[in-house]
């Protein structure tokens, strides 16, 4: 099914273009403007060229040190949660009941954490993990594990990671489930006739079929974990010390806390650029995967 | 669909893991503050509705829910109505710069809200929309419109092109075809897209908090007020939290059969 070339289609796209341009391009221009200037307050600005960017990428300065440290923490965080959520999501999707009312029940419960406002997610875990009034913190401490996410950096990390797994594994699971549902029963029958093992079925049938949805899952999870703000902010406030200060938290501290517009703007642009590059890589891989798949499907 | 050994146990454990923290919040919301602080109880021993009563009678509390719903609904309507024609265009036609435009839209879905918080504050203050539901609704378009286009494009592509051609041959003008034929055909897709717009606008806090001060403050921002001189009002915080979960839980029920497909952005 080839698409027809029709330049009038632009008229249909125009509303979207205008709305998004209003919310994206205008503010971004402000950011670019700020990133090149310095201010002593009173709305007096002067030209600073690429000064902020130099500082930002130089770890020996205060700004650069903070940025690179938070970037490192953020990448580590994203890597850990991807390593946990993707396999766990696949396992959960494979564990879905086959049919009946329990399917609907499982779907609704799985989707529940996704619909909770992010700061409430933070509140839930803040309460749940507290040693004095939270079930988790209380139980851990009473069986002799010294757990306190407010003062111990490792505990804070574990809390934030478990919270993210709680919050988002369902997304991966639901995506994988959608992928699994699209596999025709005939494939399994063929595998059975061939005497394929459980693992072989997974590797040869289920995994390839989940390829595309897994890419979407990884893309969404990477992006969202890379710009995570609200949940760790509510639970740990970026602490103890700076141990859970991720890039967004650092950025909001500089922009809205210290009102350091130039620094914040430079940081925003570099941050956005990183996301854009990763996004583009994923997008290209995804569209290529789709293009490669199509002829095979047509032949089958 | 083939599953794995021990699946019931795995599923049960995972669901317990999901529900336990929520249970704890609900549990706390029915306790008195004295009970919360003084003892560890697995269920409320002296159940009370005082926290809920306070939220439903105090205007500064319940107006937060109304404010939140206001901008969420506004955002959903704007997002869907601009995204529908665009989704059709992306699905049916090729035009100059279509791929770049699509990627540009996608990249906005991925832009960190923290980057836009300050410029949005400046922009909406400058045009006099600050502290109105419109500011938040428009700001949330930045990630919801691309998402809606993405989801709807998947659903429109599922409609056979012959239907368009037949309609045009029958002399339907484009707007009439769109409203009378296309929209009913992708009604479930519109439902799914609306669900996702609702969801992402409902859960977002950073922009909603930055763009409002008094009149349109969302409930999630009001919740931070429970810290007072006498310490945290944990019960009230928990009750407010529980009430923010309910709208989500309700809409999930309506779209439960489409959830999986929707999360795959209509591309399974």
Q: Is A255 on the interface with B (CB under 8 A)?
A: yes
Say if CB A64 and CB A57 are below 8 A apart: yes
Q: Is A41 left (phi over 0), alpha (psi -120 to 50) or beta?
A: left
CB contact under 8 A, B260 and A17: no
Where is average pLDDT lowest: A84-88, A290-294, B73-77, B134-138? Answer: A290-294
Alpha carbon of residue B217 to chain centroid: 17
How confident is the model at residue A164, as a pLDDT? Answer: 94
- Total-model pTM: 0.84
The pLDDT of A167-195, averaged and rounded, is 87
CB contact under 8 A, B2 and A201: yes
**Spatial separation of the C-alpha atoms in residues A117 and A110, rounded to whole Å:** 15
Strand partners of residue B232: B227
Residue with tokens 């429109």: B156
The pLDDT of A147-165, averaged and rounded, is 89
CB atoms within 10 A of CB A197: 9
The pLDDT of B38-42, averaged and rounded, is 77
**Which phi and psi angles does B94 have, rounded to 5°?**
-110, 135
Could you report the per-residue pLDDT of A17-45, keeping only the tens digit for each? Answer: 888 888 888 888 877 877 777 766 556 66
B180: DSSP letter: I
**Spatial separation of the C-alpha atoms in residues A55 and A61, rounded to whole Å:** 6
Residue with more model confidence, B52 or A262 = B52
Contacts of A296 (CB under 8 A, 6+ apart): none
- For chain A, the farthest-separated pair of C-alpha atoms sits apart, in whole angstroms, at 78
Q: What are the residue ranges spanned by the domains of chain B?
A: 1-48, 58-263
- Residue B144: exposure state from Cβ atoms within 10 A (0-12, 13-18, ≥19): buried
CB contact under 8 A, A115 and B199: yes
CB contact under 8 A, A275 and B139: no
Cα radius of gyration rounded to whole Å, chain A: 24
Kind and range of the H or E run holding B262? helix B259-263
Q: Kindly list the residues from chain A whose CB atom is less than 8 angstroms away from the CB atom of residue B4.
A: 91, 94-95, 198
**Spatial separation of the C-alpha atoms in residues A159 and A220, rounded to whole Å:** 21
Where is average pLDDT lowest: A78-92, A226-240, B59-73? Answer: A226-240
- pLDDT confidence band for A300 (50 / 70 / 90): very low
**Spatial separation of the C-alpha atoms in residues A163 and A236, rounded to whole Å:** 12
**Spatial separation of the C-alpha atoms in residues A273 and A120, rounded to whole Å:** 30
Question: Is B264 a residue whose pLDDT tops 80?
Answer: no
How confident is the model at residue B222, as a pLDDT? Answer: 81
Say if CB B202 and CB B111 are below 8 A apart: no
Q: Pull the structure tokens for residue A293.
A: 């798949």
Task: Give CA separation, A98 vs A20, A207, B168, in Å.
Answer: 42, 18, 43
Q: Which of B6, B82, B261 sits opposite A178 (nearest CB)?
A: B261
Q: Which of A31, A124, A276 sits opposite B25 (nearest CB)?
A: A124
User: With pLDDT > 70 as the criterion, what percentage of chain A qualifies?
Assistant: 91
- The helix/strand/coil state of B234 is helix
- Which CATH architecture is the domain B58-263 placed in? Orthogonal Bundle (1.10)
How confident is the model at residue A163, as a pLDDT? Answer: 93
Q: Kindly list the residues from chain B whose CB atom is less than 8 angstroms away from the CB atom of residue A1.
A: 161
- The DSSP secondary structure of chain A, one letter per residue, reads -PPEE-TTHHHHHHHHHHHHHHHHHHHHHHHHHHHTEEE-STT-EEE-TTHHHHHHT-TTSHHHHHHHHHHHHHHHHHHHHHHHHHHHHHHHHHTS-SSSHHHHHHHHHHHGGGGS-HHHHHHHHHHHH-TTT-HHHHHHHHTT----TTT-HHHHHHHHHHHHHHHHHHHHHHHHHHHHHTS-HHHHHHHHHTT--HHHHIIIIIHHHHHHHHHHHHHHHHHHHHT--HHHHHHTTT-STTTT--HHHHHHIIIIIS--HHHHHHHHHHHHHHHHHHHHHHHHHHHHHHHHHHHHHHH-
> For an interface test with B, which of A123, A174, A254 has the most B Cβ atoms less than 10 Å from its Cβ?
A123
Could you report the per-residue pLDDT of A111-128, keeping only the tens digit for each? Answer: 899 888 888 898 889 888
Q: Is A17 on the interface with B (CB under 8 A)?
A: yes
């Amino acid at each position: 099914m080839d698409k027809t070339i029709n330049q009038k289609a632009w008229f249909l796209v125009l509303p979207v273009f205008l709305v998004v341009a209003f919310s994206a391009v205008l503010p971004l221009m402000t950011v670019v403007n700020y990133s090149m200037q310095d201010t002593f307050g009173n709305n007096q600005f002067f030209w600073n060229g690429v000064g902020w960017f130099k500082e930002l990428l130089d770890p020996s300065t205060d700004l650069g040190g903070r940025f690179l440290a938070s970037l490192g923490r953020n990448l580590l965080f994203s890597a850990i949660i991807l390593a946990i959520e993707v396999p766990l999501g696949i396992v959960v999707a494979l564990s879905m009941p086959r049919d009946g009312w329990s399917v609907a029940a499982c779907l609704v419960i799985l989707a529940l954490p996704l619909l909770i406002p992010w700061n409430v997610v933070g509140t839930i875990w803040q309460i749940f993990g507290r040693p004095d009034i939270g079930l988790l913190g209380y139980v851990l401490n009473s069986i002799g594990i010294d757990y306190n996410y407010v003062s111990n950096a490792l505990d804070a990390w574990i809390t934030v990671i478990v919270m993210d797994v709680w919050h988002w594994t369902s997304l991966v699971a639901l995506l994988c489930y959608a992928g699994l549902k699209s596999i025709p029963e005939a494939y399994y029958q063929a595998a059975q006739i061939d005497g394929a093992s459980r693992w072989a079925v997974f590797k040869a049938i289920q995994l390839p079929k989940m390829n595309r949805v897994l890419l979407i899952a990884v893309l969404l999870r990477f992006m969202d974990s890379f710009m995570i703000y609200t949940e760790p902010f509510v639970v740990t406030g970026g602490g103890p010390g700076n141990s859970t200060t991720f890039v967004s938290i650092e950025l909001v501290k500089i922009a809205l806390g210290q009102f350091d517009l130039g620094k914040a703007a430079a940081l925003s642009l570099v941050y956005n650029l990183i996301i854009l590059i990763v996004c583009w890589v994923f997008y290209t891989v995804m569209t290529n995967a789709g293009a490669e798949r199509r002829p095979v499907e047509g032949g089958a | 669909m083939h599953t794995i050994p021990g699946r019931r146990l795995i599923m049960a454990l995972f669901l317990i893991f999901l529900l336990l923290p929520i249970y704890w919040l609900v549990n706390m919301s029915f306790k008195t503050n004295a009970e919360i602080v003084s003892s560890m109880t697995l269920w409320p021993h002296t159940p009370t509705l005082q926290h809920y009563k306070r939220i439903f009678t105090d205007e500064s509390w319940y107006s937060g829910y109304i404010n939140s719903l206001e901008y969420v609904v506004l955002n959903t309507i704007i997002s869907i109505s601009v995204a529908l024609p665009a989704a059709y265009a992306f699905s049916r036609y090729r035009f100059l710069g279509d791929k770049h435009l699509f990627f540009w839209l996608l990249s906005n879905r991925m832009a960190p809200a923290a980057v836009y918080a300050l410029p949005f504050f400046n922009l909406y203050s400058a045009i006099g929309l600050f502290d109105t539901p419109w500011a938040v609704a428009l700001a949330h378009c930045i990630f919801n419109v691309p998402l809606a286009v993405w989801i709807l494009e998947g659903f429109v592509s599922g409609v056979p092109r012959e239907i368009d051609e037949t309609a045009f041959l029958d002399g339907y003008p484009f707007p009439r075809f769109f409203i009378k034929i296309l929209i009913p055909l992708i009604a479930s897709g519109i439902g799914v897209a609306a669900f996702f717009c609702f969801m992402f606008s409902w859960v977002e806090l950073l922009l909603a908090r930055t763009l409002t001060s008094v009149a349109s403050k969302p409930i999630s921002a009001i919740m931070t007020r429970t810290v007072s001189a006498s310490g945290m009002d944990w019960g009230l915080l928990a009750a407010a939290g529980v009430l923010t979960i309910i709208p989500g839980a309700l809409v999930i029920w309506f779209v439960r059969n489409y959830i999986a497909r929707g999360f795959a952005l209509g591309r399974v």
